[in-house]
Amino acid sequence: MVLKSNEAIDDLQIADLKIIQNTKGFKFGTDAVILSDFAKSIRSKETLDLCTGSGIIPLLLYAKTNTDHLCGIEIQEDIADMAKRSVELNGLGDKIEIYCGDLKNSISIYGKRRFDLITCNPPYMKAGSAILNETDSKIISRHEVKCTLEDIIKISSSLLTLTGHLAMVHKPSRLCDIIFLMRGCGIEPKRIRFIHNHAADAPMLVLVDGLFGGKSDVKILPPLILRNDDGSDSEEYKKIHFPM
């Protein structure tokens, strides 16, 4: 396998897995690592990661769960190709499938009621919040250019099995939108956890786990604090980020 221009192989520090990333492009961050840990306890025979990017979440879920089959869908051809090559690099072609396409076409691609778990680390910036170049990969990864939060939740409600889960990471400012849209699509929020950089800081991220066809009963989990007062990684974050 030959790396393309500006690509490098990074060690994920779990299960000997590696990932290819563009050194000048959008790289996976803490949010993807935390989401994979949040979702690992959800039992699933088949999992789909929407907006999969480099394929980081399917790779981490492979290492952390006993899921039979993991899929990822990514609309940007060059990034989807990079994710496919990361799967090949790790010899996981029989476990992880990366598809290049628009998630709004996911029902025709995968069929209804297929997945026990859907994960998504979506673009955070709301549609129409700025004038954007729709061909810039960093902008597509960060802004709702190619899909919206509503698109993600509506599509998920058709792809999930009965009692299937949608696990997301997003900005706390969008939490009301997430709950409103989930409930409107028959997905009941069951777990919510706020992520703080330091204990005294306002939350920087929020994790939401919704159950399709679930009853009203949400648990607010203890916050995840990433850093100690001295700036070092907290013990819990170290266990998430460096599990082995």
pLDDT at 217: 94
61-96 tens-digit pLDDT = 999 999 999 999 999 999 999 999 999 999 999 999
**Residue 140: pLDDT over 70:** no
Q: pLDDT-based confidence at 143, cuts 50/70/90?
A: very low
Tokens read off for 220 = 């607010």
Mean pLDDT of the chain: 91
Residue 151: pLDDT band (50, 70, 90) is very high
pLDDT digits (tens, 9 = 90+) for 15-49: 999 999 999 888 899 999 999 999 999 999 999 99
- Residues of the chain with pLDDT > 70, as a percent, come to 89
Residue 48 is inside which H or E element, if any?
Answer: strand 46-50
Q: What is the pLDDT of residue 128?
A: 57
Measure the CA–CA gap between 75 and 213, rounded to whole angstroms: 29
Q: Domain 28-241, what architecture?
A: 3-Layer(aba) Sandwich (3.40)
pLDDT tier for residue 243 given thresholds of 50, 70 and 90: low
- pLDDT tens, residue by residue, 193-241: 999 999 999 999 999 999 999 999 999 999 999 999 999 999 999 999 8
C-alpha distances (whole Å) from 96 to each of 80, 107, 210 are: 13, 19, 23
- How buried is 27 (Cβ within 10 angstroms: 0-12 exposed, 13-18 middle, 19+ buried)? middle
What pLDDT score was predicted for residue 97?
98
Separation between Cα atoms, residue 23 and residue 27, nearest integer Å: 8
* Residue 57: band (very low, low, confident or very high) from pLDDT cuts 50, 70, 90: very high
Please state the φ and ψ torsions of residue 120, each to the nearest 5 degrees. -160, 125
pLDDT at 141: 47
The DSSP H or E segment spanning 140 is helix 137-142
Q: Per-residue pLDDT averaged across 50-61, rounded?
A: 97
User: Which of 55-59, 142-146, 190-194 shows the lowest per-residue confidence on average (mean pLDDT)?
Assistant: 142-146
- pLDDT, one tens digit per residue, over 85-133 is 999 999 999 999 999 999 999 999 999 999 999 999 998 766 555 544 4
List the domain boundaries for the chain. 28-241
Q: Do 116 and 165 contact (CB within 8 A), yes or no?
A: yes
